[in-house]
Every structure is written in structure tokens, then in C-alpha cells.
Amino acid sequence: MQGANDVTSPEYGVERGNREKGKTPIGTVRKCSFCFHRLQRGEEPACVETCIGDARFFGDISDPNSVVSKLAASPRAFRLKEELGTHPNVIYLR
């Protein structure tokens, strides 16, 4: 049974430890893995699956017939800080 101070990390599907013991990095930002553990099971990332507004899409951008490829080709599409050479993999729509 999990205690009040135990913290799981659902994005990685693993137990992160007990906050009282200092095992859990508090206030630390981690990079999104697009729920790699879910992708391995053939599932979508949790944020895509649970978005109540159906505003998130995930797929193969190299497939010209995919929804994400068509959205990425839209004049509404942009990437954050692309001009800095960061090579972002997330595309937003205006």
C-alpha cells in the first residue's frame, strides 16, 4: 500500500521513492519521453489519449498521408525556438 509521501512517476511507469527519504527529485524538470513505455505497447502518449478537447495528435510525420503530417504542413504550424537550432520535435498550431 502506498503512503501519503510515496510518489509514482506515471510517465515512466516506475516508483520514484519516498519524499521523506529524499529519493524523489522535487522541483526538477524532466524531458518528455512521449510516454515511451506506452509507445512500446502500441498505445498513444497519455496526454494525447486523455486530452478532452482532442487537441493533441501523435503519429508518423514522415507518412505524407498521416494526420500529423498534414497538420505539420499547415501554414498554422510552428515550432518553438527553431531559429536557435534546437531541432524541436513538437509542432504547434496557431
**Residue 75 and residue 45 share a domain:** no
The reported pLDDT for the residue numbered 22 is: 55
Note the pLDDT of residue 21.
56
27 and 4 belong to one structural domain: yes
Helices (H) and strands (E) in the chain, counts: 3, 4
Which stretch of DSSP H or E encloses residue 47? helix 46-50
Structurally, how many domains does the chain consist of? 2
**pLDDT block averages, 10 residues each, the chain of length 94:** 52 53 59 87 93 93 95 95 90 94
Q: Give the pairing type, strands 77-78 and 92-93.
A: antiparallel
The helix (run of H) or strand (run of E) holding residue 48 is: helix 46-50
Q: Based on the fold, state whether residues 29 and 74 are members of the same structural domain.
A: no
The pLDDT of residue 19 is: 53
Shared domain for 47 and 67, answered yes or no, is no
Domain that holds residue 80: 59-94
Which pLDDT score, from 0 to 100, does residue 60 have? 92
